[in-house]
Amino acid sequence: MHNTHMLEFSKNSDEYGNLVPIEGRRNIPFDIKRVYYIYGVDQKQRRGFHSHNDLHQALICVSGSVKILVKNPNEEEIIELNDPSKALYIGPKVWREMYDFSEGSVLLVLASEYYTEDDYIRDYDEYLADAIEYYKNI
Ligand code: TYD
């Protein structure tokens, strides 16, 4: 799907456990300016419901599992994240919703820019109008 794909990180695994290093522009396609994580989400809760104009993100479920719905005017996918060595890259102009957070799950997000509400599109009709134009040229 446009502007989304899975990333698979190399693990340093030995009898002591696993270690996954992530370096901006080395094993993810952007420099990391911001890190946040989502946890303690009720299993019935659905979050997200937005798109970004310019932001690049990598979503990693570092504990437990969560489903991510990504869509644009022409495509839609549901990805279950349940492996701390994999990330879902989401670029600009992709609508996303997160749900089915397992108990105790932690969703880590690496982002290419500092937080600004100006970069969000939270209204789905507004998203569609903008995205139809954007994806027409791809
Ligand atoms: P939001 O991005 O809407 O969460 P989700 O998409 O998971 O439902 O963010 C929830 C709240 O947290 C909102 O008030 C904005 C704030 N926030 C920050 O202050 N900084 C951040 O980096 C992020 C991602 C959110």
Task: Using the mean position of ligand 1's atoms as its centre, give its distance from the Cα of residue 78 in Å.
Answer: 21
> What's the token pair of residue 96?
């996303």
| Ligand 1 proximity of 36 Cβ (cutoff 6 Å) | yes
> What's the token pair of residue 69?
């719905």
- Residue type at position 108: L
Q: Would you say the C-alpha torsion 96, 102, 104, 108 has a positive or negative sign?
A: negative
* Residue 80 CB partners (closer than 8 Å, separation 6+): 65, 66, 67, 68, 100
Q: Is 30's pLDDT higher than 80?
A: yes
Asked about 56 being catalytic, the answer comes back as no
What is the C-alpha to C-alpha distance for residues 131 and 52, in angstroms, rounded to an integer?
11
How are the residues of the chain apportioned to helix, strand and coil, as percentages rounded to the nearest 5? 10, 45, 45
Ligand 1, atom 3, residue with closest C-alpha: 48
Ligand 1, atom 2, residue with closest C-alpha: 48
Q: Is 138's pLDDT higher than 90?
A: no
pLDDT digits (tens, 9 = 90+) for 61-77: 999 999 999 999 999 99
Q: What number of other Cβ atoms are within 10 A of residue 126's Cβ?
A: 11
| Ligand 1 proximity of 47 Cβ (cutoff 6 Å) | yes
pLDDT digits (tens, 9 = 90+) for 18-27: 999 999 999 9
Q: Strand, coil or helix: what is 132?
A: helix
For the whole model, what pTM was predicted?
0.97
> What is the pLDDT averaged over residues 96-121?
98
Q: Let me know: does 96 contact 69? Beta carbons within 8 Å.
A: yes
What is the C-alpha to C-alpha distance for residues 45 and 15, in angstroms, rounded to an integer?
37
Give the residue among 30, 27, 31 at the shortest CA–CA distance from 10: 27
